[in-house]
Structure 1
Amino acid sequence: MPGLTVGEPFPEGVAFTYVAPTGELDLTACGLPIQYDASKEFASKRVVVVAVPGAFTPTCQVSHVTSYISNLDKLKAAGVDQIIFIASNDQWVMAAWGKANGIKDDSILFMSDPGAAFSKSIGWVQGDRTKRYALIVDHGKVTYADVDEVRGSIEKSGAEAVLAKL
């Protein structure tokens, strides 16, 4: 199965785009997009990357993102510096999704994987969308990588699964 292998370095040249949280929850206010060099940023952090098929979609909203929001304190206590949600949606949709979920700071960032480029590079896509998966990247090294193959499941990519691997 394609993907990332535990123990290997996070790939070079991976970039996402996002709109930084402002603290305002006004969904109509947009910021300017920021390029996020994931390869560089992940070298100095312990990060959980969560890929979802789409912002605001049923499983993604009802159970996936909420599992991370409700477990944020536990994830931070386990040494996670940042949680990053990615999808093929553009950065403004992803920013609105974060605001709709009450996220006011950078503890959870919602980013665009433009054209699902990163997800395609590891083979975890379904059509033009990312599959549902989670990664733990600890100072540039992949320490957990798994994908949910069952539609609607967050068994391998939800916060509880990630907490069990930290």
Structure 2
Amino acid sequence: MTTLKPGDTFPSDVVFQYIPWSEDSGDITSCGIPINYKASEEWANKKVVLFSVPGAFTPTCSVNHVPGYIKNLPNLREKGVDIVAVLAFNDPFVMSAWGKANKVQGNDILFLSDPDAKFSKGIGWADEASGRTGRYAVIIDHGKVSYAQIETEKGAVKKSSADAVLASL
């Protein structure tokens, strides 16, 4: 896999991990069972916004990045977005707890795990020093990439922000 760019077909073998939200395990201290999320299959006929962060519960990610998507979720839906997903290298338990800490319920935003940053490394957008996922955003429209940008400035949330994505829809 190489860096994603507009016009590319989203890879056909992308699998993340996550813990589906449920009413009975909605409390932050509740654990669910991680399952594989076959993104390539799930997203093949949908408009998807995928944004990636270096780590759950980190300052920039928790204060500047995720809240923008939560706030703009209605605007993203108005633009025809079916799925919004955040990705980090953290395990599915941490990602699930992070979603609950942000009071995200149901499938409003999927909190997905990229174990070992496999996907991010595959597209060349993992941090070489830490091995974590990079900070980036991708719009996938029925299997085709229409937007793909990575932040090159440490701590910046510009190209991968909800506002930048909205402007590109």
1:1-166 matches, within 5 Å, as: 3-23=3-23, 24-126=25-127, 127-166=130-169
Once the two structures are superposed, residues 6-49 of structure 1 have per-residue CA deviations (whole angstroms, 9 ceiling, x without a partner) of: 11100111100000111454111011111111111111111100
For the residues of structure 2 that align with 1:78 and 1:145, how far apart are their CA atoms? 17
How many Å separate the matches in 2 of 1:156 and 1:41? 25
Which consecutive segments of 4 or more residues in structure 1 shift more than 2 A? none
Residues 67-106 of structure 1 show CA distances to partners (whole Å, capped at 9, x for unaligned) of: 0001010000000111111110000000000000001110
Separation in structure 2 between the aligned mates of residue 71 and residue 139 of structure 1, nearest angstrom: 21
User: How many aligned residue pairs are there?
Assistant: 165
TM-score by length of 2: 0.95
1:152: Cα distance to partner?
Answer: 1.1
Runs of 5+ consecutive residues of structure 1 not aligned to the other structure:
none
Give the percent of matched residue pairs that are identical in Structure 1 and Structure 2: 53
Q: Look up the equivalent residue of 1:59 and give its one-letter code.
A: T
Q: After TM superposition, give the deviation of residue 137 of structure 1 in Å.
A: 0.4
For 1:104 and 1:154, locate their aligned partners in 2 and report how far apart those are by CA, in whole Å: 24
Question: Aligned partners of 1:84 and 1:30: how far apart in 2?
Answer: 20
Give the aligned residue type for 1:13: D
Partners of 2:80 and 2:152 lie apart in 1 by: 28
Instruction: Give ranges in structure 2 of 5+ residues lacking alignment.
Output: none
Please give the alpha-carbon distance, in whole angstroms, between the structure 2 residues aligned to 1:129 and 1:138: 26
Please give the alpha-carbon distance, in whole angstroms, between the structure 2 residues aligned to 1:130 and 1:32: 23
Letter in 1 for 2:159: K
Assess if the C-alpha contact under 8 Å between 1:50 and 1:135 holds in 2: yes
SS, match of residue 119 in structure 1: helix
The separation in 2 between residues aligned to 1:79 and 1:34, in whole angstroms, is 27
